[in-house]
A and B are shown apart, each in its own frame.
Chain A
Amino acid sequence: MKDKILLAHGSGGKLAHELVEKSFLKALANPFLAKLDDSAVFNLSGRLAFTTDSYVVSPIFFPGGDIGKLAVCGTVNDLAMSGAKPLYLSLSFIIEEGLPQSELNEIVDSVQKTAQEVGVEIVTGDTKVVHRGSADKLFINTAGVGIIPEGIDISGINARPGDKVILSGTIGDHGIAVLSQRESLSFSTQLKSDCAPLGGLVAEMLAASPNIHCLRDPTRGGLATTLNELAKQSKVSIRIEEEKIPVRDEVLGACEMLGFDPLYVANEGKLVAIVLPEDADKVLKAMQENYYGKDAAIIGEVRVEHPGRVVMKTCLGSSRIIDMLVGDLLPRIC
């Protein structure tokens, strides 16, 4: 019983303070948190990017990551997709009573490790504990701010006909890895989630070409949904080639078994970049030199005709439309 999180840990009283000191301050140590003030105070100048996301993944530990790593990567990646250098994050926990303290500690450590890798700091946070059944183990919300360097203009509306579409690596790894752990469905696979922070990769891409038009991470809804969003926002069509899209054999196999299309399966450490044709090779090279972009490939291009559509050339040489995801393929994967 001793090592479980109790309702009292979220009460704001003694146990709550103990939890903050022992679990959070120790692991996440930095001068902002150490002050224990109601808000973090810092100076920033330049164009700010600000984002937030909530994480409800089940199970909270999965091959290749956990909800803590995911919560940092997700928000860092959202900042990076606007070209921002991620700087500060908030971290809020909603804990179901009974969560083992050891699991919470493990997740906080994972938050710290990931934050350290990216070079962001957790500067403010909150903890609530709810009755059993009111949450499932642990939900996390993170928000983050970053600064966009001068001369960078990245947006989903910027894709232009002729631009090349680059994908940073294999698709579907996260969705299938999480799914393989579900109680009702567990199947054995060596596959790991691709959950990763992409701030460093984006910085290197921008160093190669500051003129990148669009960046987006294909999370829920997968690559297909992301490409559709970009085509619609920019009022262009995107034509991709099936054989250029990297997919692991394990993902293909699991998708066959479960009746999924890897194009719709979630990723947590991949990005799609739309770049000027003359910049494509140097951006690709910069990506391939980074660990998180080593399997990057040019998968297609932007076109004028059929605005808002994504069309794929299949391995047989025929074409088909790639639509957005309808309904929920897999609930609670992030």
Chain B
Amino acid sequence: MKFITEFRRSELAEGIISQIHRKSKTPARFMEFCGGHTVTIFRYGIRQVLPKTIDMVSGPGCPVCVTANADLDKAIALAQIPDVIITTFGDMLKVPGSHFSLQEVKADGADVRMVYSTMDALNLAERNPAKSVVFLGIGFETTAPTIAASILQAEEEGIRNYYVLSMHKLCPPVIRAILDSGEVKLHGLICPGHVSAIIGSHPWEFIARDYGIPCVVAGFEPTDVLQCVDMLVAQIENGESNVEIAYRRGVRPEGNQQALKCMEQVFEPCPAQWRGMGEVPDSGLKLRKEYQHFDAELAFDIDPGPTHEPRGCICGDILRGVKTPLDCTLFGKACTPEYPIGPCMVSSEGTCSAYYLYGEGFEG
């Protein structure tokens, strides 16, 4: 099986699209939680090929976007401490904090480096014993296990100059928060594929059971998303609400036990600040007591001062699915990928960036 081209075949897609058109009778609104799905949906113009009965909204599943300014400011304050090397995934560099972005403090002399894996950060710590290497731990359940693994390895090898600023977020609690707020009425949820590869499909069951909303875990190719929509439509038309997997090649119901074990060994749930949603209970991860010596927030004395949000930016509302980028007065004018104001325009998985780059609503 070819894992990419097989899932981008137009004949296959056409078949699923016409099936969806045949089945869908009841108007329904689906949310794709994950920024990766947002990109697939816009990149392949999936909204254009769906029947009028189906309304799609983007959710908060972009880790860079949901990082609160208060956390960003902590990272930027850490970067300004002498002999600290900040290591991070690429997109974080450009996100504007309350006053600066990491990119700006880097240009000003701070040592900020883009890495592709936590192990690169750990190697950097090993090679620079006189420096402190801080990894900016952002991401969902997908990245948290790899960061946990780097901490376990640092512990085993006695590396004492490696730290993590844990800004991790957990997905199921924030979906509960969105549903409880009642701001958006949802009839189906496209559950994140990579997150589910780790946590499995069981953690979504409360949504189907308690809220009566069908849930389908999807992969990231266009036909994956179409198949997921087809399965959601089928549940709606049959009056069912179950958790199903449309991404069998990546996700098992029980998830990845080894990754979960690793994550649970190092981290424990804690309240977390989400951009646009404020504090959500048990939706973050902090280092357990045994591993607190790796916690950058405890190891360094940082006081980033009060935060402030960019005026006019509605990223928070967009992340909750309440508004779209087209509702924003800054979108495409003051705020573009070249000069982003809010994080949803910075991140490659951000909703504003997807709207802008792929020209949603453009009749070509």
Contact = CB atoms under 8 A, between A and B. Distances in A.
A314 B116 contact: no
Contacts of A306: 364
Interface in A253-270: 253, 256, 259, 261
A319 to B, nearest CB: 4
Interface string A319-334: 1110100110000000
Interface string B204-228: 0000000000000000001000100
Contacts of A261: 43
30 contacts: A184-B116, A243-B10, A249-B4, A253-B3, A309-B364, A311-B359, A314-B43, A314-B222, A315-B13, A315-B44, A315-B222, A316-B17, A317-B10, A317-B14, A319-B45, A319-B48, A319-B362, A320-B43, A320-B44, A320-B45, A320-B359, A320-B362, A321-B358, A321-B359, A321-B362, A323-B356, A323-B359, A326-B337, A327-B94, A327-B337
B294 interface: no
A319 B364 contact: yes
Contacts of A319: 45, 48, 362-364
B2 A249 contact: yes
Interface in B42-58: 42-46, 48-49
A239 B222 contact: no
B357 A316 contact: no
Interface string A171-187: 00000000000001100
Q: Which of B49, B116, B226, B359 has the most CB of A within 10 A?
A: B359
A152 interface: no
Nearest to A312: B364
A88 to B, nearest CB: 39
A190 interface: no
Contacts of B359: 311, 320-321, 323
A316 B44 contact: yes
Contact of A316 (B3, B49, B337): B49
B8 interface: yes
On chain B, which size bracket covers the interface?
20 to 34
Contacts of A326: 337-338, 357
A41 B337 CA distance: 49
Interface residues of A, number: 25
Given A249-B2, A321-B357, A316 B10 contact: yes
Contact of A315 (B2, B10, B94, B364): B10
A243 B48 CA distance: 18
Q: Which of A253, A261, A315, A323 has the most CB of B within 10 A?
A: A315
A314 B120 contact: no
B339 to A, nearest CB: 10
B115 interface: yes
Contacts of B49: 316-318
Nearest to B357: A323
Which are the 6 A-B pairs with shortest beta-carbon distances? A318-B45, A321-B359, A319-B364, A311-B364, A318-B48, A326-B337
Contact of B5 (A249, A309, A317): A249
Given A184-B115, A318-B44, A320-B362, 16 more contacts: A184-B120, A249-B2, A249-B5, A253-B3, A256-B4, A261-B43, A306-B364, A315-B9, A316-B10, A316-B45, A316-B49, A316-B222, A319-B363, A320-B43, A320-B44, A326-B357
Contacts of B222: 314-316
Nearest to B7: A315
A252 interface: yes
Interface in B350-364: 356-359, 362-364
A320 B42 contact: yes
Contacts of B44: 314-316, 318, 320
Nearest to B337: A326
Interface in A235-285: 239, 243, 249, 252-253, 256, 259, 261
